[in-house]
Structure 1
Amino acid sequence: MNTDFDLLLAGAGHSHLGVLRLWASRERPMGRIGLVSAEPHAWYSAMMPGLLAEHYQTRQCRVGLPKLCAAAGVEFVQGTLVALLPDTPELLLATGETLRSTWLSLNLGSLPRLPEQSGDGMELLSVKPFADFIRRWQQWQETPEPVAILGGGAAGVELALAMAGREPELHLFSADDLLTGHQPRLRRIALKHLQRAGVQVHEQSPIQAVHGNTLIGDGQIRWRGRRLVVATGPYPLEWLRESGLRLDSRGFIEVTPALQSRSHPHVFASGDCASLPGAARNGVHAVRQADVLATNLGRAAIGQPLRHYHPQTHSLALLADGHGGALLSWASLTAEGKLLGTWKDHIDRSFMRRHGADD
Structure 2
Amino acid sequence: MSAACDLLLVGAGHAHLGVLRLWAAGRRPRGRIELVCPEDAAWYSGMLPGLLAGRYRSEECCIPLTPLCRAAGIEWRQAAVTALEADSRSLRLEGGERLQGRWLSLDTGAPPQAPAHEDADMELLAVKPFPAFLARWQAWQRAPERLAILGGGAAGVELALAMARQVPGLALFSAAELLAGHPPSLRLRALQHLQAAGVQVHERCPVERIRGAALLSRGQPVWHGPRLLLASGASPLPWLRSSGLASDLHGFVAIASTLQSLSHPQVFASGDCASLAGTPRNGVHAVRQGPLLAGNLARALTGQPLQDYRPQRHSLALLADGRGGALLSWAGFTTEGRWCGLWKDWLDRRFVRRHQGP
Q: Give 1:188's aligned residue.
A: 188
The alignment status of 1:286 with 2:286, answered yes or no, reads yes
Q: Give 1:17's aligned residue.
A: 17
Q: Give 2:28's aligned residue.
A: 28
- Aligned residue-pair number: 358
1:149-168 superposed matches below 5 A: 149-168=149-168
**Alpha-carbon distance in structure 2 between the residues aligned to 1:44 and 1:282:** 13
User: Normalization by structure 1: what TM-score?
Assistant: 0.97
Retained in 1: the 8 A contact 2:149–2:230? yes
Q: Give 2:219's aligned residue.
A: 219
Q: Give 2:103's aligned residue.
A: 103
Q: Deviations over 1:245-294 (max 9, x none)?
A: 11111111111111111111111111111111222111111111111111
Q: Give 1:238's aligned residue.
A: 238
Cα deviation for residue 117 of structure 1 reads 1.3
**Alpha-carbon distance in structure 2 between the residues aligned to 1:312 and 1:238:** 31
**Alpha-carbon distance in structure 1 between the residues aligned to 2:306 and 2:216:** 49
Where 1:344 maps in the other structure, the secondary structure is helix
Cα deviation for residue 189 of structure 1 reads 0.5
Cα deviation for residue 120 of structure 1 reads 4.0
1:22-101 superposed matches below 5 A: 22-101=22-101
Where 1:304 maps in the other structure, the secondary structure is coil
**Alpha-carbon distance in structure 2 between the residues aligned to 1:102 and 1:239:** 19
Structure 2 counterpart of 1:111, one-letter code? P
Retained in 1: the 8 A contact 2:324–2:341? yes
**Alpha-carbon distance in structure 1 between the residues aligned to 2:124 and 2:3:** 36
| Mean CA deviation greater in 339-348 or 103-112 | 103-112
Cα deviation for residue 41 of structure 1 reads 0.9
Structure 1 counterpart of 2:153, one-letter code? G
Where 2:193 maps in the other structure, the secondary structure is helix
**Alpha-carbon distance in structure 2 between the residues aligned to 1:267 and 1:284:** 22
| Mean CA deviation greater in 67-76 or 1-10 | 1-10
Q: Give 1:262's aligned residue.
A: 262
Structure 2 counterpart of 1:161, one-letter code? L
**Alpha-carbon distance in structure 2 between the residues aligned to 1:246 and 1:342:** 42
Structure 2 counterpart of 1:268, one-letter code? F
**Alpha-carbon distance in structure 1 between the residues aligned to 2:279 and 2:174:** 23
Cα deviation for residue 27 of structure 1 reads 3.0
Cα deviation for residue 315 of structure 1 reads 1.1
| Mean CA deviation greater in 187-196 or 240-249 | 240-249
User: Normalization by structure 2: what TM-score?
Assistant: 0.98
Q: Deviations over 1:131-174 (max 9, x none)?
A: 11111111110111110001111110000000011001111111
Q: Give 2:5's aligned residue.
A: 5
**Alpha-carbon distance in structure 2 between the residues aligned to 1:317 and 1:43:** 19
Cα deviation for residue 12 of structure 1 reads 0.5
Retained in 2: the 8 A contact 1:278–1:313? no
The alignment status of 1:348 with 2:355, answered yes or no, reads no
Q: Give 1:277's aligned residue.
A: 277
Q: Give 1:312's aligned residue.
A: 312
**Alpha-carbon distance in structure 1 between the residues aligned to 2:3 and 2:159:** 40
The alignment status of 1:148 with 2:148, answered yes or no, reads yes
Structure 2 counterpart of 1:222, one-letter code? V
**Alpha-carbon distance in structure 2 between the residues aligned to 1:149 and 1:136:** 15
Retained in 2: the 8 A contact 1:3–1:98? no
Retained in 1: the 8 A contact 2:255–2:276? yes
The alignment status of 1:124 with 2:124, answered yes or no, reads yes
**Alpha-carbon distance in structure 1 between the residues aligned to 2:285 and 2:204:** 28
| Mean CA deviation greater in 8-17 or 270-279 | 270-279
Q: What fraction of aligned residue pairs are identical, expressed as a percent?
A: 59
Cα deviation for residue 243 of structure 1 reads 0.8
**Alpha-carbon distance in structure 1 between the residues aligned to 2:177 and 2:288:** 29
Q: Give 1:115's aligned residue.
A: 115
Q: Give 1:173's aligned residue.
A: 173
Q: Deviations over 1:33-92 (max 9, x none)?
A: 110111111100100101100110000000111111111011111111111111111011
Where 1:141 maps in the other structure, the secondary structure is helix
**Alpha-carbon distance in structure 2 between the residues aligned to 1:331 and 1:238:** 36
**Alpha-carbon distance in structure 2 between the residues aligned to 1:200 and 1:27:** 50
Where 1:124 maps in the other structure, the secondary structure is strand
Retained in 2: the 8 A contact 1:108–1:273? yes
| Mean CA deviation greater in 49-58 or 214-223 | 214-223
Cα deviation for residue 3 of structure 1 reads 4.6
| Mean CA deviation greater in 172-181 or 347-356 | 172-181
Structure 1 counterpart of 2:76, one-letter code? F
**Alpha-carbon distance in structure 2 between the residues aligned to 1:100 and 1:157:** 41
Q: Give 2:229's aligned residue.
A: 229
Cα deviation for residue 4 of structure 1 reads 2.6
Cα deviation for residue 2 of structure 1 reads 4.3
**Alpha-carbon distance in structure 1 between the residues aligned to 2:181 and 2:309:** 23
Cα deviation for residue 95 of structure 1 reads 1.5
Cα deviation for residue 238 of structure 1 reads 2.2
**Alpha-carbon distance in structure 2 between the residues aligned to 1:56 and 1:95:** 36
Cα deviation for residue 107 of structure 1 reads 0.5
**Alpha-carbon distance in structure 2 between the residues aligned to 1:230 and 1:103:** 34
Where 2:142 maps in the other structure, the secondary structure is coil
